[in-house]
Structure 1
Amino acid sequence: MIKTLIFDFGDVFINLDKQGAMSNALSLFEMTEFEHDMIEANIQYEIGEISTSEFLGFYKTKFPHLSEENIVHAWNYIIKDFPNHRLEFVKQLSNSNHYKLILLSNTNEMHIDFIKENVSFYNTFKECFDKFYLSHEINLRKPNTNSYEFVLNENNLSPEECLFVDDTKENTDTAQKLGIHTWNIDETKEDVVNLFEIQKHLF
């Protein structure tokens, strides 16, 4: 029986434009692909190993012709709208008290600050969860096994009593290996609000 629901954030609740953000950044940087040091800096920033000022400093040094504003805009370009019906869904879940609700998201300080400024109900959303884990705060990121083990151990959870919802297959594959039930949601044609319909075999 499922007792705990673990959700990703991006492309589960808030919409993202990953491809558009990548194209926009590559155009800005006048590159055809991200270089290794850029990928590494992005990962280090996502797990809180470097600060926002250090992260921006890296990009300003690498691309001295760009302003900090250019870089911040390109970084936050990925974040789109947060449909209100998804907030209502998680509020109803929270009010029902049927499940422990956990958010586990790979994110970073600039993205969360941007969301706080642009999503008026962010705090209401956050308060729906029993635990709210962001990679830059816990210094762990998916799909690394230790991120899931951290959540399981911190909350004394049995994997077989958990359902994890994430749009990235690599993330759900790792969780599945630990015995966690998963839904690799296809954000192009599925919506988290239909969870109990699509995953009804688990409930």
Structure 2
Amino acid sequence: MIKGIRHILFDLGGVLLNLDYSRTEQAFRDLGIENFDEMFSQLKQTPLFDELETGKIGKADFVAGLRSAAGIEVSDEDLLKAWNAMLLDFPLRRLQLLQQLRLHYDLLLLSNTNEVHEEAFNLILNQAHGLSIGMLFDKVYLSHRIGMHKPDAAVFEHILNENGLKAEHTLFIDDSPQHIETAKRLGIQTIWLEKGMTIEGDIFLQK
């Protein structure tokens, strides 16, 4: 038990779900999009990713935006497969840890994600472990479903208020320092999962 903590709010990608962004980069190169880094950087300056992440656009509009930026004719299926290539696996030990933690704490999930990735990571979880993400937590907050995302303070305030949680009794675990900083400013206890760290190997050591 962690002294004073009653609720744990987890990030998803890089904390529970292993990611490898280079796989998406390579997948786009394999489709003939050699300038993926440049394309991705340019797209970040447009509303495309923010709108996908906050549910303002869906899969069809996102794919159309990707295809337009790529400047070549690529099928929807191939573009989506490349976009999902970064999503790896949910290690069994990590899922077992969540089950153990749930005996002692309220577990919540807050992820900046999108319609495309939600479908893909639930498929990964189901095929490997027979689970869906909602089965692991008391409450799940996905940015595209709630129309808010980190690091905006509003999303943390929404979760605290909706569940009647006190910030000082809530622990937030994330691998992005800018998300951690917002939570800290609101009085939430935080753990920044730095590169190379895992929750099962560095935070919650199983005896």
Q: TM-score range by the shorter chain?
A: 0.7 to 0.9
The structure 2 residue matched to 1:109, chosen from 115, 125, 147, is 115
CA offset at residue 111 of structure 1?
Answer: 0.8
The structure 1 residue matched to 2:88, chosen from 80, 86, 93, is 80
Decide whether aligned partners of structure 1 residues 22 and 152 sit closer, same or farther in structure 2, where only a CA change above 3 A counts.
Answer: farther
CA offset at residue 126 of structure 1?
Answer: 2.5
Residues 167 and 186 in structure 2, CA contact (< 8 A), matched pair in contact too: yes
> Aligned residue for 1:56?
63
Task: Please give the alpha-carbon distance, in whole angstroms, between the structure 2 residues aligned to 1:59 and 1:169.
Answer: 28
Residues 112 and 144 in structure 2, CA contact (< 8 A), matched pair in contact too: yes
Task: Note if 1:182 corresponds to 2:185.
Answer: no
Could you list the runs of 5+ residues in structure 2 that have no partner in the other structure? none
Hey, which bits of structure 1, 4+ residues long, moved more than 4 A? none
Task: Note if 1:29 corresponds to 2:43.
Answer: no
Decide whether aligned partners of structure 1 residues 175 and 122 sit closer, same or farther in structure 2, where only a CA change above 3 A counts.
Answer: farther
**TM-score, structure 2 as length reference:** 0.85
> Aligned residue for 2:53?
46
1:1-203 counterparts in 2 under 5 A?
Answer: 1-22=4-25, 24-25=27-28, 28-31=32-35, 32-33=37-38, 34-39=40-45, 40-62=47-69, 63-94=71-102, 96=103, 98-120=104-126, 121=129, 123=131, 125-188=133-196, 190-193=197-200, 194-197=202-205
**Which letter does structure 1 place at the counterpart of 2:188?**
I
Task: Please give the alpha-carbon distance, in whole angstroms, between the structure 1 residues aligned to 2:61 and 2:132.
Answer: 31
- Aligned-residue Cα RMSD (Å) equals 2.2
Q: Aligned with 2:80: secondary structure?
A: helix
CA offset at residue 64 of structure 1?
Answer: 3.7
CA offset at residue 26 of structure 1?
Answer: 6.3
**Which letter does structure 2 place at the counterpart of 1:17?**
D
Task: Please give the alpha-carbon distance, in whole angstroms, between the structure 2 residues aligned to 1:113 and 1:161.
Answer: 32
Percent of aligned pairs sharing the same letter: 34
Q: Aligned with 2:131: secondary structure?
A: helix
Decide whether aligned partners of structure 1 residues 67 and 181 sit closer, same or farther in structure 2, where only a CA change above 3 A counts.
Answer: same
CA offset at residue 22 of structure 1?
Answer: 3.9
Task: Please give the alpha-carbon distance, in whole angstroms, between the structure 2 residues aligned to 1:122 and 1:116.
Answer: 10
Decide whether aligned partners of structure 1 residues 184 and 38 sit closer, same or farther in structure 2, where only a CA change above 3 A counts.
Answer: closer
CA offset at residue 129 of structure 1?
Answer: 1.0
Task: Please give the alpha-carbon distance, in whole angstroms, between the structure 1 residues aligned to 2:92 and 2:153.
Answer: 32
Deviation digits for residues 3-30 of structure 1, max 9, x if unmatched? 1100001111110012443454467433
**Which letter does structure 2 place at the counterpart of 1:5?**
I
Residues 172 and 188 in structure 2, CA contact (< 8 A), matched pair in contact too: yes
CA offset at residue 110 of structure 1?
Answer: 0.9
